[in-house]
Amino acid sequence: MAEPSKVIHIRNVGHEIAESDLLQLLQPFGVVSKIVMLRAKNQALLQMEDMHASVSALQYYSTVQPSVRGRNVYMQFSSHQELTTDQSSHGRNSDQESEPNRILLVTIHHMIYPITVEVLHQVFKAYGFVEKIVTFQKSAGFQALIQYQSRQEAVEAFGSLHGRNIYDGCCQLDIQYSNLSELQVHYNNDRSRDFTNPSLPTEQRPRPSQHGYPDPAGLFAFQQAGASYAQMGRAAMISAAFGGSLPNGVTGTNERCTLIVSNLNTDKIDEDKLFNLFSLYGNIVRIKILRNKPDHALVEMADGLQAELAVTYLKGAILFGKKLEVNYSKYPNITPAPDAHDYLNSSLNRFNSNVVKNYRHCCAPTKMIHISALPQEISEDAILNHVSEHGSVVNTKLFEVNGKRQALVLFETEEEATEALVSKHASSLEGNTIRISFSQMQSI
C-alpha cells in the first residue's frame, strides 16, 4: 500500500458518477477539502482535511466494497500529499482558465435523462439570444457548444448556470468558455441547430423516442428564484431512482395508494409517529387510526409506487415492541374527516424535494439513523441526550456536508433505531427542526 496521504485516489469512476456521489462516500469520515475529477481517465482525487480522516476512510473501505450507482470503485492513497488549488475543481475560477467568449463549452455530468438541443435551448435562452447549438459525445461525456449573439449574454449564462442541475439531482452543467470564434452548423435536428437559419436540412435521421422522460417545457426555470424542478415522468423517475431495476419484490405497477397497518402499540402510537415512519417511502396524504380498532390505522400515500415501497420495507418491522402488519386496504382513499389527520400540504413530507435522492435512500429499518438539519454548534452530547432514551447507543459521528452539520447514530437494534426515528423526526433540537432517516451504512 502507498504511504498514507490526505489525498485518496479513486479508480473506475464512470461518467455517470458525479462529484456529489464521491463526496457521499467520504464525507462521513471527515471534511473533503478538495476534489479533482479526472474524467478522461475515469479517476478522481479527493483530499481530506486531515490524515486521520483519509486513513479512517480507507480502513473502512478495505472491508466494505465501495459502490456508486451500481459500479464498484477502488480506493488507495494517492502519491500526492496535497492537491494544489490549480488542480482542484472545487472553488476553481473558470473565468481565469480561458477568456470570456460568446461561445460556451458545456459538459453534462450524471446524465440520467437524454439531453437534446431543445432541452439546452430551453435552459440557455433565458440569458440572451442563442444563435447556434452543437452537441457531441466525447471521452469527458456528453458535451455541447452554445453560441450567443453577444459575449455579455454568454458571461451572464456562465455565471448563473455553471454547477447547476437541469433536472432535480442530475444532469449537472459544467461550463467553460470555448476558444472558437464561430460554430459551423450543417443540419437543424436534435443534435445541432442554427436558430438564425431555419431552412437548413434535417438530415432525415430518426429522432430518438422521448417516451417516459421529462418534458423539456417543464424544465427548471433557472431565471426564476425559487422555481420548482421539472416534473419527472413516472417511468423516468423509477429509472433515475433505482438505476433501471427496482428493489426486490417491488413491481412498480401497483396503483393502490391506501394501506392498512395493524398490530400497533396503542399506548405509544399516534398519527404523527406513523407519518414519521411512512414518509420515508413517499408523501403522505392522510392517516387515520381506527377508533373501533385502535391497533389498526389507514395510511394514504401519494401514489401506488410509494405505497408498494412502504409495504415492501415495513412489513414485519418492530415498532414499540410490536411486529407491524402492512397490507393494501380495500379503501381507495381516506375520506377527509375530523378524526383523519391531513398531511397533504405538510412541509414535512420528504418527497416535495430531492425526489431521486429520497427514493435512492429507501430501505428497511436499520440500526443506524442519519440526522440532518442540525444546528451548526451542536455537540455529540446534545444529540445523545436527544435520542438515547430510545435505546442503547453503540456509536455516534458528527460530520459536515456542504457546510451543514449532520450525524450518524448507531443503536444496538433496528427496533431502537426505529423508535428513535418515529419519536424524534421533525422534533426541535436547539431551535432547529431536525430530519431523521435510516442509514444504509453498516458501521461508523
pLDDT at residue 187, as a whole number: 85
Same fold, 7-77 and 103-194: yes
The pLDDT tens digits for 220-276 are 433 332 222 333 344 445 555 665 567 778 877 788 999 999 999 999 999 999 999
Mean pLDDT across 380-404: 93
299, containing H or E segment: strand 297-301
Please give the torsion angle defined by the CA atoms of residues 17, 105, 162 and 30, in that order, rounded to the nearest 10 degrees: 40
Overall average pLDDT of the 286-309 stretch: 95
Residue 165: pLDDT over 70: yes
Residue 137's pLDDT band (cuts 50, 70, 90): confident
Instruction: Note the pLDDT of residue 109.
Output: 86
Q: CATH: 3.40.50.720, 3.30.450.40, 3.30.70.330, 3.30.1330.40. Which one for 368-438?
A: 3.30.70.330
Q: Give me the percent of the chain exceeding a pLDDT of 90.
A: 46
Checking if the pLDDT of 308 tops 50, the result is yes
Q: What is the pLDDT of residue 226?
A: 28
The answer on pLDDT for 213 being more than 60 is no
pLDDT in tens, 48-77: 888 888 988 898 888 888 888 778 899 999
Residue closest to 308 by CA, chosen among 361, 255, 357, 352: 255
Cα end-to-end distance, the chain, whole Å: 23
Does residue 312 register a pLDDT over 50? yes
- CA max distance for the chain: 76
What's the pLDDT score for residue 215? 41
> What pLDDT shows up at residue 339?
93
Question: Domain 103-194: which topology?
Answer: Alpha-Beta Plaits (3.30.70)
Residue 286 reports pLDDT greater than 70: yes
Structure letter (DSSP) for residue 431: T
Domain range list for the chain: 7-77, 103-194, 258-359, 368-438
Q: What pLDDT score was predicted for residue 237? A: 54
* Average confidence (pLDDT) over 400-428: 95
Looking at the chain, how many residues does it have? 444
| Superfamily in which the 7-77 domain is placed by CATH | RRM (RNA recognition motif) domain (3.30.70.330)
What are the C-alpha distances in Å from 121 to residues 193, 202, 217? 10, 17, 10
pLDDT band at 340 (very low <50, low <70, confident <90, very high): very high
Q: Which of 122-126, 164-168, 316-320 has the highest mean pLDDT?
A: 316-320
**Secondary element (H or E) of residue 301:** strand 297-301
Q: What pLDDT is attached to residue 225?
A: 28
Considering the four listed CATH numbers 3.40.50.1220, 3.30.565.10, 3.20.130.10, 3.30.70.330, the one that applies to the domain covering 258-359 is 3.30.70.330
Q: Write the single-letter amino acid at 376.
A: Q
- Residue 241: the pLDDT is 62
Q: What is the reported pLDDT for 240?
A: 54
The pLDDT of residue 139 is 66
The x, y and z cell numbers of residue 401, run together, are: 456536508
